[in-house]
Structure 1
Amino acid sequence: MNTKTVRHMYVTAAVAVAFASITSCNGSGGEQDSKQDRGAGVVKVDPIAALRSVQAKTKGADSARVEGTTVMGDAMSMKQSGAIAWTDGLTGTIEITYTGGTMADSLKQAGVNGPIEARYFKEGYVVNMGAATAQQSGGKHWISYDYDDLAEVAGAAGEVMKDQLQNTTPDQGVKSLLASGDVKKVGREDVRGVTATHYSGTVDVAELSAKNSSLDADQLAQLKKQLSDAGITTEKVDIWVDDNDLLVKKVERGQMKTGEFNSTVFYSDYGTKVSAERPAASDTVDFRELMQKGTS
């Protein structure tokens, strides 16, 4: 694998880290039916008032521990765990392990065999992909990403990602259901030993993204085209809420042209202490520098 390919792969893989944090709070996928929604077990009641209480309570909790898995077709599957806070933008530290897909295969070929550490700040995030990264970046272990730069590279989809990363909280899954107009209370279920109420609904991804961002007409048209090209239209959102009106689990499922999208996240220890220390500048390289070297 030549140097140019390796550098580009590191940049691409690390950009995927952004989606790990988004899916920990709010993500997007496609529609996929749930068997639990089709039988007599569905309790059709008006859950709007209850969900508004959950949204307010979860948003006001300020921080939590997260643990989850994400699958994006045959491109990648990963698991993530850590702690995040959302009082002033998304901050925190998450450990990410690529468990399958073409991305994991490419990383292994390049010498990245262990977990990846990501630290999130208000204006961007940094990623440590281990010693293999340092060999391609002048001995520096951390790659830094600025949300404005990512938005510029990714176009309209980047603008949406920037908004989500800077403003998102775990209650975004609740907001998605409130905005969907298709909310069902499924019933009471056990989530890791906690009795929780299960709600379910289907969300139009493009419509929700437009509502939750400041895209102009041209950017919105570009976003819809990007989503359409990827085969993304709607997503199925399921959340579980404990008796304290706090989110304890969220599942988002769907279908893309490259395969199934599936994100499952568990939340616990609300109010936990969260830290995200910036690495030394001497050990950090900007992703734009890698992009320039990768195309030179």
Structure 2
Amino acid sequence: MRISTVRRVGLAVAVAAALTSVGACGGPDDGGAAKGDGKAESRGTAVVKTNAIAALLDVQKKTGAASSAKVDATMVLGSAMSMKQSGALDWSDGISGSMKITYTGGAMADTLKKAGGSSTMEARYFKDGYAADMGAALARQTGGKHWISYSYDVLAELGGASGAVMKDQMQNTSPSQGVNALLASGEVKEVGKEEVRGVAATHYSGTVDVAELTARTSKLDAGRLAALKKQLTDAGITTETIDIWVDGNDLLVKKTERGQMKTGELNSTVFYSDYGTKVAVERPPAGETIGFKELLQQQGAAGTAS
């Protein structure tokens, strides 16, 4: 795999992760951005939730506190990429865990195929960054190092507004962020009762203004926030429809996000199961790992030499 190709692939993954995460930006932990009073009334020993906001406040709390789960997901990001992912994640202190990622279509899959790389890779997530196994094609270019290590600080530095958002999201994310987004928008309704992979669930839906939600919940300074809004506008992302399905224990079992980009649809579906599962992840061996910034520096040195 050519180093220039790895650079393009690496930056594309970072930007994609940032753009798809802003639609799930977390609202305030106490649901303070939600519209509606969220009241519940008691009838005997049961508590009857009077509206969708009240129900989602319980989901937000219980899903966020669950700490870990198994995850099974698919995502389409316009013509850039489509992928499927499976693994287990822990969000008790930032994101940690391991996911198997397969690029199933789009420019990303084509680039990997032409470069001789595998369309399937492993990603390991840590509090300060993540590592991706790019396989033998990368190892041939880096003296046997087939893992790329991405520091969130480096991605924030190199990626501008997208990198800053990605850093914030990956260090403060949990499955309840889809719930937070609906609470922050205030535009949420209960659709009905449905079954999700054999589990009885309640379906909620709402539409989120991506730029407004980002402005309200982001920790970015004014300059980077303006840059991010421009980036979203240039990409054609304005609103997303978020649907969630919740089981009888107020735990999220499914989430979908749908929107439009200039390059096509933005569509993701995530299933959650086995809450509380044990998640253990090890950093790849140092001798088999190269930092993304170091990779870029090597490319620059190679370009100068030629």
8 Å contact kept, 2:129–2:152: yes
Separation in structure 1 between the aligned mates of residue 108 and residue 282 of structure 2, nearest angstrom: 27
AA paired with 1:123?
Answer: D
Pairwise mapping of residues 131-146 of structure 1 onto structure 2 (< 5 A)? 131-146=136-151
Aligned counterparts of 1:58 and 1:230: Cα–Cα separation in 2: 31
The aligned runs of 1:230-269 (5 Å cut-off) are 230-269=235-274
Percent of matched pairs sharing the same residue: 63
1:20–1:243 Cα change, 3 Å = farther
CA distance in 2, matches of 1:10, 1:226: 19
| 1:27 positional shift | 6.9
Alignment of 1:209-288 (within 5 A): 209-288=214-293
**Cα pair distance change 1:139/1:154, threshold 3 Å:** same
User: In 2, Cα distance between the equivalents of 1:73 and 1:161?
Assistant: 19
The aligned counterpart of 2:71 is: 66
Among candidates 192, 198, 218, match of residue 193 of structure 1: 198
CA offset at residue 55 of structure 1?
0.4
Q: Deviations over 1:46-101 (max 9, x none)?
A: 20110000000000100000001000011110000000001110110001000001
1:8 deviation in Å?
A: 2.2
Q: How does 1:39-188 map to 2 (within 5 A)?
A: 46-188=51-193
Change (3 A) 1:83 1:121: same
Task: Return the offset for 1:245.
Answer: 0.3
1:17, 1:118 within 8 Å by CA — same for their partners in 2? no
Does 13-22 or 76-85 show the bigger shift? 13-22
After TM superposition, the structure 1 stretch with the greater mean CA deviation from structure 2, 285-294 or 170-179, is 285-294
1:8 maps to amino acid: R
The AA in structure 1 aligned to 2:208 is V
Aligned residues: 278
- Structure 2: segments with no counterpart, 5+ residues: 27-49
The 2-side partners of 1:255 and 1:175 are apart by 21
Unpaired segments ≥5 residues, structure 1: 29-44
Post-superposition CA distance 1:183-219 (Å, at most 9, x none): 0100001111111000000111122222222112222
In terms of Rg, which structure is larger?
Answer: 2
Q: Distance in 1 between matches of 2:157 and 2:201?
A: 41
**TM-score normalized by the length of structure 2:** 0.86
Evaluate the alpha carbon distance shift between residue 108 and residue 16 of structure 1 in structure 2; reply closer, same or farther with a 3 A threshold: farther
Task: Determine the C-alpha separation between the residues in 2 that align with 1:282 and 1:218.
Answer: 39
1:294 is the counterpart of 2:299:
yes
The CA RMSD measured in Å over matched residues stands at 2.1
Q: Which runs of 4+ in 1 moved over 6 A?
A: none
Q: Is the 8 A contact 1:62 1:86 kept in 2?
A: yes
Q: Which amino acid aligns with 2:233?
A: S
Q: Does 1:205 align with 2:181?
A: no
1:8 aligned partner: 7
Cα pair 2:109 2:119 within 8 Å, conserved: no
Higher relative contact order (CA 8 A, sep 6+): 1
